[in-house]
């Protein structure tokens, strides 16, 4: 596909990199020559110096032949106007990043009037992911499928856990027949396990598990965390705004520490149920005064990665609170993974996942579409949800007879309000939500899991 990306910041660069890996033709537009030079030096892309709101610039970028334009500058107005001009000039599909809460409250109207194919709000989406982590205090990561009916939860196996040394066949018989271990990360190795695989302490495992079983299951395997009722947010940016709205609606007490006085006044007006503290979240004395030792969770959301990392490390030193750390620059992922930072949130990666899902669905016009996509374990594994329609070749074949590509596991089937842990005799039916994990990149539909 021919794809134009307007904006070569953190999100634009990430999209250009990941979409380029999937063999799309990428053209990036930005007004910064230095950003374009950096992108050209490391990515196989075309670059145009100019504004995405310029008709001439869009024509130079090939908007008339483009299949999709993605506008992800740091200004909502430029993103929306770029999409509108692209629709008029080339008729291509358009995706806009829209971050301002005022715009996002009216996003349905904006999408319809401007003809947007998709509007993505990274901060709101990141807030939703953090909220899920708050509701699953034992989990390091929670990914949802089938409109929230299926959850994939990532945890680390404790040293004294009953799982240490247990095979997955024994796991099914002794612990839970309704849950399934889908991915294991052991050191630098990422494994999609078979039944004979033996778990070990220290493994990071991702498993599908029903919500109603999760508390007792985690207790059995030696992971126990009390429910979270008091949350401290470091930084009062847009993510904090969306997150506080979600948490206070769920009855969670929220305290925000923000250094900018004007922003504190805005937050106090917009979030009357939260406590707003004007001060420096990196001030040790202030953190102690505001009860960091007694809070149930700390979410580090300042605009500086290094500050967020230090806040999470310090919280682990003085408290048993759950920590969630926002990190934008993940070039040193190997080092970050070794730190005790709790759960890590990257808004630019969240945005890229949503847009990749849409692009893959555009490529697959029949059989099934990518409904949900997550990149897990540092991007080495993809978890995908497909909705099966009547044209899918995989319908009606027992899973034990299905000739599937290697390094792929069918994790769950959601059908008529019921979650099915797949066995060899199960088959896909029209309308099923099917979740798979794989080390292969670029699956566009359910039939891509079949061997040629």
Question: Do 201 and 300 sit in the same domain of this protein?
Answer: no
The rounded distance, in Å, linking the Cα atoms of 148 and 242 is 19
For tokens 């609170």, the residue is 321
Question: Does 139 fall in a domain?
Answer: yes
User: How many separate domains does the chain show?
Assistant: 4
Does residue 341 form part of some domain?
yes
66 shares a domain with 10: yes
Same-domain check for residues 70 and 8 = yes
- Residue among 93, 97, 102 at smallest CA distance from 125: 97
Q: Token pair of 48, please?
A: 């145009």
Residue ending a domain, choose from 303, 330, 345: 345
Q: Do both 339 and 372 map to the same domain?
A: no
Examine the domain organization and report whether 104 and 153 are in the same domain. Answer: no
Longest dimension (CA), the chain: 66
Q: Are residues 137 and 211 in the same domain?
A: yes
| pTM flag (> 0.75) | yes
Average confidence score pLDDT of the chain? 91
Contact indicator for 373, 443 with CB cutoff of 8 Å: no
**SS3 call for 387:** strand
Residue 233 within any structural domain of the chain: no
In a domain, 432, yes or no: yes
Confidence at residue 366, expressed as pLDDT on a 0 to 100 scale: 52
Same structural domain for residues 189 and 213?
A: yes
**Beta pairing, strands 141-145 & 433-438:** unpaired
Sign of CA dihedral 78, 84, 85, 90: positive
Q: What is the model's pLDDT at position 33?
A: 96
Domain membership of residue 42 as a residue range = 2-120
Domain boundary among 60, 88, 120: 120
For 238-296, how does the pLDDT look when each residue is reduced to its tens digit (9 = 90+)? 999 999 999 999 999 999 999 999 999 999 999 999 999 999 999 999 999 999 999 99
Domain assignment present for residue 225? The answer is no
Asked if 58 and 86 count as a contact pair (C-beta separation under 8 A), the reply is: yes
Residue 341 confidence (pLDDT): 86
Phi first, then psi, for residue 93 (nearest 5°) are: -75, 155
- Considering the domain architecture, whether residues 261 and 173 belong to the same structural domain is answered as no
Q: Are residues 97 and 140 in the same domain?
A: no
How far the first Cα of the chain sits from its last, in Å, is: 23
Alpha helices in 91-149 (DSSP H): 101-105, 107-114, 122-135
CATH (domain of 393): 3.30.70.1450
Give CA separation, 354 vs 97, 122, 224, 426, in Å.
11, 9, 32, 29
Is 399 inside any structural domain? yes
Spans of the chain, pLDDT less than 50: none
* Residues 116 and 131 grouped into a single domain: no
50 and 141 fall within a common domain: no
Query: Looking at residue 237, what DSSP letter applies?
Result: S
- Taking the C-alpha atoms of residue 10 and residue 30, their distance in angstroms, rounded to an integer, is 12
In a domain, 61, yes or no: yes
Mapped onto helix, strand or coil, the DSSP state of residue 235 is coil
Question: Quick one: 97 and 185 in the same domain?
Answer: no
The token duo for 299 is 């979410």
* Distance in angstroms (rounded) separating the CA atoms of residues 428 and 65: 37
Residue 429 lies in a domain: yes
For residue 63, give the CATH number of its domain.
3.40.50.720
- Domain boundary, last residue among 220, 250, 272: 220
């Amino acid at each position: 596909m021919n794809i134009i990306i307007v904006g070569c910041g953190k999100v634009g660069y990430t999209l250009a990199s990941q979409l380029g890996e999937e063999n799309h033709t990428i053209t990036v537009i930005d007004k910064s020559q230095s950003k374009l030079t950096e992108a050209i030096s490391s990515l196989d892309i075309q670059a145009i110096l100019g504004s995405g709101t310029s008709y001439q610039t869009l024509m130079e970028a090939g908007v008339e032949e483009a299949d999709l334009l993605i506008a992800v500058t740091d200004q909502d107005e430029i993103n929306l106007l770029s999409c509108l001009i692209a629709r008029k000039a080339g008729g291509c599909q358009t995706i806009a990043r829209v971050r301002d809460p005022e715009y996002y409250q009216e996003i349905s109207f904006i999408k319809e009037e401007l003809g947007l194919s998709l509007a993505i709000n990274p901060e709101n989406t990141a807030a939703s992911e953090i909220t899920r982590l708050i509701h699953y205090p034992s989990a390091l990561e929670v990914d949802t499928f089938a409109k929230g009916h299926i959850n994939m939860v990532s945890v680390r196996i404790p040293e004294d856990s009953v799982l240490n040394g247990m095979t997955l066949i024994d796991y099914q018989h002794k612990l839970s027949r309704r849950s399934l271990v889908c991915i294991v990360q052991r050191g630098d190795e990422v494994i999609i396990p078979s039944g004979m695989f033996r778990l070990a302490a220290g493994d990071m495992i991702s498993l599908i598990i029903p919500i109603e079983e999760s508390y007792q299951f985690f207790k059995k395997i030696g992971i126990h965390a009390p429910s979270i009722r008091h949350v401290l947010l470091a930084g009062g940016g847009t993510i904090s705004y969306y997150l506080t709205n979600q948490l206070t609606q769920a009855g969670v007490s929220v305290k925000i520490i923000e250094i900018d006085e004007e922003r504190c006044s805005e937050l106090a007006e917009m979030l009357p149920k939260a406590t707003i503290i004007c001060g420096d979240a990196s001030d040790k004395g202030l953190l102690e005064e505001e009860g960091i030792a007694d809070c149930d969770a700390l979410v580090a959301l300042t605009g500086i990665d290094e500050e967020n990392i230090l806040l999470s490390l310090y919280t682990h030193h003085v408290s048993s609170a759950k920590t969630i750390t926002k990190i934008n620059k993940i070039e040193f992922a190997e080092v970050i993974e070794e730190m005790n930072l709790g759960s890590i949130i990257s808004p630019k990666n969240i945005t890229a996942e949503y847009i990749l899902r849409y692009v893959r669905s555009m490529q697959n016009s029949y059989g099934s579409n990518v409904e949900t996509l997550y990149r897990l374990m540092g991007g080495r594994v993809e978890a995908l949800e497909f909705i099966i329609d009547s044209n899918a070749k995989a319908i009606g074949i027992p899973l034990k007879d299905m000739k599937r590509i290697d390094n792929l596991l069918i994790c769950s089937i959601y059908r008529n309000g019921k979650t099915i842990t797949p066995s060899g005799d199960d088959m896909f039916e029209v309308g099923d939500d099917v979740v798979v994990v794989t080390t292969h990149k670029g699956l566009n539909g359910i039939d891509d899991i079949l061997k040629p």
